Amino acid sequence: MEDWARLWLEEQRKQGKKGLEIKKIGNHHYVYYSTTHWSKQLKKRIKSSDYIGKIDPIKGFTEGVKRSITSKNLRGIKEYGNAVLFDHLLPDLRACLQDAFPDEWKEIYAVAITRAMGYTPLKRIKSSWDKIYDIQEINPQLDAKNLSKILKLVGSDSRAQDSVFKALSMRDKELVYDLSTVLTRSSINFAEIGYNKGKVHVPQINIALFCSMTTGLPTMIRTLPGSVRDIKSLYNSILEARKEGGTVVLDRGFFSKGTIQFLLEKGMNFILPARRNSRLYNTGIDLSGHMFYQKRLIKCGKRKNENIFLYLFEDQQLKLEENTTLYRKLDEDKIDEIDLTNSQERAGKILIVSNLDSDPKEIFMQYKSRDRIEKLFDTYKNSLHSDILYLQDNESIFGHIFISFLSLYIYSKIEQTLKRADILDKHSPKDVLLELSKVYLVELDDCNLISEVPKKLEMLDKKMKLNLFPKARS
């Protein structure tokens, strides 16, 4: 609510006028008279609002024409709730896209938003966007032919992409990194036969994703040939991220002497779990400390080993579960007594290598932040869906992956809002978007009307502290 509109309401109050309410829709301020009446069916008082006009900082109040909605004066009905949410959460994204892609940012932004709401193929992007109220009045050109050109342009401009990544991660030094695979049936030369968890020997592309440990938001993505090994991809991605001096949390699949040496040379703080067969597990570490993680008792200890620190954690519940499994294998003759003894020594244990001299509890919590990036990958692949299987050139693939990253960023912003409100366990971003889609904007010849906000959504908005539907009353 702008100051001049608030002052107008205060003046109406001084004149004894009550029940007035202002709703800001886009860049316009509309005035309603609101009251309540008793509903015999619902057996409670319900609110009703009548549009009476609009106000302008120059023209002042202009009385509206009271009339019913007909086919003659109705220009359109748009989803308003989602539009307000995106407008509220994404000023940073809009700004960096405008700087990086001054000619294409509108189309990039529109595609990213539509896909954050649910996977939409290029040929249906325009129809999906047209359902949403264009609150910023950007009017993107979203026909499929133009979007195909945009994908190529975006995919070929790595410098502009880097500008966006830099803007989104400017304040982040602590990063979580992981690598995943996307299969493709395209004949592009960037896709190569490589190893994947499903052991399917078809062309694939590796996706390297960085995530902020502080905010939980994705900050950068890299596309790598399908045959590139994890360690090599890590080297290149860290160099491209220009995050020397920061902290990176890795998966045990990256563990090797070469990785440790590289990170030390680059001045990169790291948290790296050792492989279960590493000889470092034989290092004597006193488990004199303890902590609780999700009600699980974790014993912990720390020891310096040359220029690195070894952190050992023993999950008591996991130890019991692994020992139970080992004895079952022994009874089934799948292992012998020697295997049993050797495996028991490491049951329930996690060894983490780091150059940070820190509290074991802090190191453990930073390591567990990896759970976040695994969930991000799941969401990201859902947004990629099937288009990437059939795109026929490298540039289109890169553009598609970049825009899908933006959709992931948008989805994650909603998720972080729910997390801050401590309601993520009860509401998902999809739940929020579904509720918001119930609020419509009706475009008439001489004014715009907003449908009533459901009580459930009003409560949700209050918990999230977003104030998406502000009301100023006299």
* CATH number of the domain that residue 349 is part of: 3.90.350.10
Average pLDDT over residues 404-427: 90
126 and 203 belong to one structural domain? no
Rounded CA gap, 106 and 98, in Å?
8
Average pLDDT over residues 404-413: 91
355 and 417 belong to one structural domain? no
46 and 117 belong to one structural domain? no
100 and 180 belong to one structural domain? no
Q: What is the pLDDT of residues 363-385, one digit of tens each?
A: 998 888 777 777 777 777 665 55
DSSP 14-35: HTT--SEEEEEETTEEEEEEEE
In this structure, are residues 407 and 115 in contact, taking their beta carbons and an 8 Å threshold?
yes
In a domain, 376, yes or no: yes
Provide the domain count of the chain: 3
In a domain, 311, yes or no: yes
289 and 400 belong to one structural domain? no
285 and 354 belong to one structural domain? yes
Rounded CA gap, 440 and 436, in Å?
9
In a domain, 270, yes or no: yes
Rounded CA gap, 414 and 327, in Å?
46
pLDDT value of residue 100: 96
409 and 425 belong to one structural domain? yes
**Whether pLDDT at 353 is above 90:** yes
pLDDT value of residue 310: 96
Of 398, 350, 348, which is closest to residue 370 (Cα–Cα)? 350
In a domain, 93, yes or no: yes
Of 140, 158, 229, 215, which is closest to residue 401 (Cα–Cα)? 158
How would residue 119 be classed by pLDDT, with cut points 50, 70 and 90?
confident
The residue written with tokens 């939980």 in the block is 216
87 and 76 belong to one structural domain? no
Helix intervals (H) in 47-117:
81-89, 91-100, 105-116
How would residue 181 be classed by pLDDT, with cut points 50, 70 and 90?
low
In a domain, 164, yes or no: no
Q: What is the pLDDT of residues 196-253, one digit of tens each?
A: 455 445 567 777 788 887 788 888 888 776 555 556 666 677 666 655 556 788 888 8
In a domain, 163, yes or no: no
Q: Tell me the average pLDDT of the chain.
A: 82
Q: What residues have CB less than 8 Å from 55, skipping those under 6 apart?
A: 5, 8, 22, 29, 31, 61, 62
How would residue 473 be classed by pLDDT, with cut points 50, 70 and 90?
very low
Rounded CA gap, 349 and 314, in Å?
4
How would residue 75 be classed by pLDDT, with cut points 50, 70 and 90?
low
Q: Which residue has the higher pLDDT, 329 or 178?
A: 329
99 and 70 belong to one structural domain? no
What percent of the chain has a predicted confidence (pLDDT) above 70? 78
400 and 388 belong to one structural domain? no
Q: Which domain holds residue 348?
A: 169-392
Paired strand residues for 351: 312
**Whether pLDDT at 193 is above 60:** no
pLDDT value of residue 471: 60
Q: Which residue has the higher pLDDT, 65 or 165?
A: 165
Average pLDDT over residues 123-136: 92
Average pLDDT over residues 140-151: 93
The residue written with tokens 């994890």 in the block is 230
In a domain, 87, yes or no: yes
468 and 413 belong to one structural domain? no
**Whether pLDDT at 414 is above 80:** yes
Rounded CA gap, 29 and 46, in Å?
24
pLDDT value of residue 386: 42
pTM (2 d.p.): 0.70
345 and 399 belong to one structural domain? no
